[in-house]
Amino acid sequence: MMLFGSGSQQVGLLALAFMILLIAALAGFPVLATVVLVIGIGGPLFIQRFDWKRQPWWVLPTALAVVLLVALGVLASIRHVSTSLWCTPIALFAITAIASSIIKATGRRCMLCRSRLRPHAITFNCPRCGFEVCDESCWSFDHRRCRMCEENHVPVLPAQSQWWIRQLGPKASHGRCQICMASPEQADLHNCGHCRRPQCRDCWDQTNGECSRCGWTMPDLPQSLKAVAANLPAHMEQ
């Protein structure tokens, strides 16, 4: 089982921990107890800082405790090891496990799937519900919203007729929505500000205020939507 990083990183870091713990054990119980406390707290922080692959909570505490046991075994082949020193692997396991649990409990989570977010994870704030979601399974790149809002067709544009008239002018009385083919009798149609092709309000909302034909984007979109709206080419600006 991979503990963190590559195999060479694992060996190097565990060898470094072995040397530090062996030297501390040679110095006596007070020094070893201090080093155990530092490694027990600093180890999980170090692993999180470098965003290495996460494993079950017991992997890191067990690895460090075993390394300390080996260091004490080496020391026991040279001289007598007191009972207090033999108890330190248990303390190291407990401290590391508690520190790892606290870090995981206080870390960021995707607000949709509740998975833990790595320190450098890519996340998106959904313009419709405001949730911070992960890019792996909860963000729709095609529709620029979270999966929940996509599945439930959550609207983002205002429902007031005055807003639509101010943005796109009066309702279109001819033609059909270029996406769903709704007629003026079936839905409120508004023409694109650039190509003049009609879209119904629902389809304008589903495309984040963009024309599906020419890519023109409505001006003065809600602030939450501006962060994910497509950039308007200079020749298409109003």
97 and 34 part of one domain: yes
This prediction has a pTM of 0.60
Residue 197: how many other CB atoms lie within 10 Å: 19
Side chain identity, residue 190: H
Q: Could you identify the residue written with the tokens 């807003």?
A: 163
In sequence order, the β-bridge partners of residue 97 are none
Using the predicted structure, report yes or no on whether residue 162 has a pLDDT greater than 50.
yes
When mean pLDDT is compared across 19-33, 38-52, 154-168, 186-200, the lowest value belongs to: 38-52
CA separation for the pair 145, 197 (Å, rounded):
25
Q: Give me 159's structure tokens.
A: 């429902």
Residue 126: how many other CB atoms lie within 10 Å: 25
Q: Give me 95's structure tokens.
A: 């401290």
Average pLDDT over residues 203-218: 93
* C-alpha dihedral sign at 19, 24, 29, 33: negative
Using the predicted structure, report yes or no on whether residue 7 has a pLDDT greater than 80.
no
115 and 173 part of one domain: no
List the one residue out of 202, 193, 205, 206 whose CA is nearest residue 167: 193
When mean pLDDT is compared across 61-65, 93-97, 170-174, 233-237, the lowest value belongs to: 233-237
Identify the band that residue 5 occupies on the pLDDT scale cut at 50, 70 and 90: low
13 and 100 part of one domain: yes
Element (H, E) at 162: helix 161-168
Average pLDDT over residues 1-7: 54
115-126: pLDDT as tens digits: 888 777 889 999
What backbone phi and psi angles, to 5 degrees, belong to 186? Answer: -95, -25
Using the predicted structure, report yes or no on whether residue 3 has a pLDDT greater than 60.
no
Identify the band that residue 133 occupies on the pLDDT scale cut at 50, 70 and 90: very high
123 and 48 part of one domain: no
CATH of the domain at 183: 3.30.40
pLDDT at 45: 85
Instruction: Write the CB contacts of 41 (distance below 8 Å, at least 6 apart in sequence).
Output: 95, 99
Using the predicted structure, report yes or no on whether residue 213 has a pLDDT greater than 80.
yes
Average pLDDT over residues 87-108: 90
Domain count, the chain: 3
pLDDT at 6: 58
For residue 2, being part of any structural domain is answered with no
The range of the structural domain enclosing residue 211 comes to 160-236
CA separation for the pair 78, 60 (Å, rounded):
28
Q: Could you identify the residue written with the tokens 């034909």?
A: 213
Reading phi first (left if > 0) and then psi (alpha if -120 to 50, else beta), residue 213 is in alpha
170 and 137 part of one domain: no
In sequence order, the β-bridge partners of residue 146 are 139
Identify the band that residue 233 occupies on the pLDDT scale cut at 50, 70 and 90: very low
Using the predicted structure, report yes or no on whether residue 164 has a pLDDT greater than 80.
yes
Q: Give me 43's structure tokens.
A: 């180890």
185-206: pLDDT as tens digits: 999 999 999 999 999 999 999 9
Kindly list the distances between the CA atom of residue 182 and the CA atoms of 83, 111, 163, in Å, as whole numbers in the listed order: 82, 35, 21
Of 125, 154, 183, the one marking the end of a domain is 154
What backbone phi and psi angles, to 5 degrees, belong to 102? Answer: -65, -40
Average pLDDT, the chain: 88
CA separation for the pair 186, 168 (Å, rounded):
19
113 and 101 part of one domain: no
For residue 1, being part of any structural domain is answered with no
Identify the band that residue 53 occupies on the pLDDT scale cut at 50, 70 and 90: low
Using the predicted structure, report yes or no on whether residue 52 has a pLDDT greater than 90.
no
For residue 208, being part of any structural domain is answered with yes
**Residue 236 three-state SS:** helix
Judge contact between 189 and 177, C-beta under 8 A: yes
Q: Could you identify the residue written with the tokens 């589903």?
A: 206
Percentage of the chain exceeding pLDDT 90: 68
12 and 100 part of one domain: yes
136 and 181 part of one domain: no
Of 154, 182, 212, the one marking the end of a domain is 154
For residue 123, being part of any structural domain is answered with yes
